[in-house]
């Protein structure tokens, strides 16, 4: 059995998060490379030495530990009994082309970004033949069996009631006033952010949460880095109250059997930086550039830009990915206190086959 933990971030209604990107907008979730950077930064805040932090990075580099991106889920609570009915976890929607003769349905499907575990279980059994990715056939897919939440989340129709009323988050803009300490002049700037949205009906409360999967052993150092999220927040603009979480719960991932099967195709739950010899294994994908500044006491230069493969790509074989060195190139190398890395290890979900390893 694969050692796979679910780190669940419990959220309050109206909690705000800023997951920025190079386009100066916000993403709908916190990608694995940024989550990795957050965890490593937490180790530095706790007081771990450089050698101890490098040891943790090596455990990721040697595939002893892998993480997914920080994804969404919903807790369904029966209000009459004050009892949790179920937790629904969402994965990135695989980028396998799904043929659909209904133009309207095809257009609706093009906006789907996430798929529930139960929905992908139904979908994955249809992705088993060699010509799926090439010809775009996804056998036995029937849109009538599915429902869509907030235009982005695909679920089975019998998973949730009142899906039309459920919304996991809102995207909003908030203005801020900043005062220049030197001149005393004030200026206004705006932040985009995600705002958590509880949905209340007569019988149920639908409460969003975030989670990520950790494959491997949670050592004391990793445990402490995770726990600090509760006190130090996550994402951008934390000093203004964004990124706070109510609590963190760590359990065995309830659906870890899904990762046991062998398959002709795989999809990634983390962003991936492929090795050169793995490029031929990529079937369907989207890419995004990563750059930005390396904020440090010794350097504020721009990190080396690098492209990552976004979650939900399709691979025809297992790939490992890599952690890339993106340390800024500066003239005086004596000034380099430590290297800066971009996480791109692949946490893969098999598509096709069953959950018994067949």
Across the range 72-98, mean pLDDT stands at 90
Residues 6+ apart with CB under 8 A from 148: 108, 112, 154, 155, 163
* Residue 201, in any domain of the structure: yes
Q: Positive or negative CA dihedral for 295, 301, 304, 310? A: positive
Percent composition of the chain: helix, strand, coil (DSSP 3-state, to 5): 25, 35, 45
Reported pTM: 0.88
217: pLDDT strictly greater than 50? yes
300: pLDDT strictly greater than 60? no
Among 94, 65, 31, 64, which residue's Cα sits nearest to residue 271? 31
Across the range 8-17, mean pLDDT stands at 94
DSSP at 143 = G
12: pLDDT strictly greater than 80? yes
Q: Give the per-residue pLDDT at 141.
A: 61
Q: Give the per-residue pLDDT at 19.
A: 85
Which comes out higher in pLDDT, residue 283 or 107? Answer: 283
> Would you place residue 243 in the very low, low, confident or very high pLDDT band (cuts 50, 70, 90)?
confident
Residues 129-141 pLDDT 10s:
444 444 444 545 6
Among 85, 73, 74, which residue's Cα sits nearest to residue 203? 85
Specify the 3-state DSSP secondary structure of 190.
Answer: strand
321: pLDDT strictly greater than 60? yes
Domain, as residue range, for 154 = 4-351
> Would you place residue 26 in the very low, low, confident or very high pLDDT band (cuts 50, 70, 90)?
confident
Across the range 191-207, mean pLDDT stands at 90
DSSP at 293 = B
Q: Give the per-residue pLDDT at 131.
A: 46
* Residue 356, in any domain of the structure: no
Q: Give the per-residue pLDDT at 134.
A: 43
279: pLDDT strictly greater than 90? yes
Q: Which residue has the tokens 């386009």?
A: 23
Look at the chain and report how many structural domains it folds into: 1
* Residue 357, in any domain of the structure: no
> Would you place residue 182 in the very low, low, confident or very high pLDDT band (cuts 50, 70, 90)?
low
Alpha-carbon distances, residue 35 vs 119, 183, 334 (angstroms): 26, 37, 29
Among 6, 39, 34, which residue's Cα sits nearest to residue 226? 39
Across the range 111-116, mean pLDDT stands at 92
Q: Give the per-residue pLDDT at 58.
A: 95
Alpha-carbon distances, residue 135 vs 21, 97, 317 (angstroms): 33, 8, 18
221: pLDDT strictly greater than 50? yes
Q: What is the mean pLDDT of the chain?
A: 83
197: pLDDT strictly greater than 50? yes
Q: Give the per-residue pLDDT at 275.
A: 96
């Amino acid at each position: 059995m694969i050692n796979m933990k679910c780190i669940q971030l419990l959220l309050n209604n109206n909690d705000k998060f800023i997951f920025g990107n190079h386009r100066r907008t916000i993403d709908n979730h916190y990608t694995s490379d940024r989550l990795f950077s957050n965890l490593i930064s937490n180790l530095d805040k706790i007081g771990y030495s450089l050698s101890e932090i490098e040891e943790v990075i090596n455990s990721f580099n040697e595939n002893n530990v892998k993480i997914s991106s920080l994804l969404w889920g919903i807790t369904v609570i029966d209000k009459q009994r004050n009892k949790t009915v179920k937790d629904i976890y969402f994965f990135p929607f695989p980028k396998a082309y799904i043929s659909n003769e209904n133009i309207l349905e095809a257009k609706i499907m093009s906006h789907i970004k996430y798929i529930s575990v139960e929905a992908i279980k139904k979908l994955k059994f249809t992705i088993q033949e060699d010509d799926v990715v090439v010809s775009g056939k996804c056998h036995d897919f029937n849109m009538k069996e599915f429902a869509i939440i907030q235009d982005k989340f695909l679920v089975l129709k019998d998973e949730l009631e009142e899906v039309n009323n459920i919304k996991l988050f809102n995207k909003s803009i908030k203005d801020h006033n900043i005062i220049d300490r030197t001149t005393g002049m004030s200026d206004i700037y705006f932040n985009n952010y995600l705002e958590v949205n509880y949905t209340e009906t007569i019988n149920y409360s639908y409460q969003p949460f975030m989670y990520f999967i950790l494959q491997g052993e949670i050592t004391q150092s990793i445990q402490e880095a995770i726990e600090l999220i509760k006190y130090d927040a996550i994402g951008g603009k934390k000093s203004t109250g964004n990124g706070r979480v109510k609590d963190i719960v760590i359990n065995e991932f309830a659906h870890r059997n899904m990762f046991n099967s062998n398959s002709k195709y795989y999809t990634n739950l983390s962003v991936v930086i492929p090795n050169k010899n793995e490029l031929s294994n990529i079937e369907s994908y989207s890419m995004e550039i990563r750059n930005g500044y390396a904020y440090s006491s010794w350097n504020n230069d721009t990190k080396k830009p690098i492209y990552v493969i976004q979650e939900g790509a399709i691979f025809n074989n297992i790939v490992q990915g890599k952690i890339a060195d993106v340390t800024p190139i500066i003239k005086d190398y004596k000034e380099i206190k430590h290297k800066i890395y971009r996480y791109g290890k692949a946490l893969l979900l098999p598509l096709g086959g069953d959950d018994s390893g067949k």
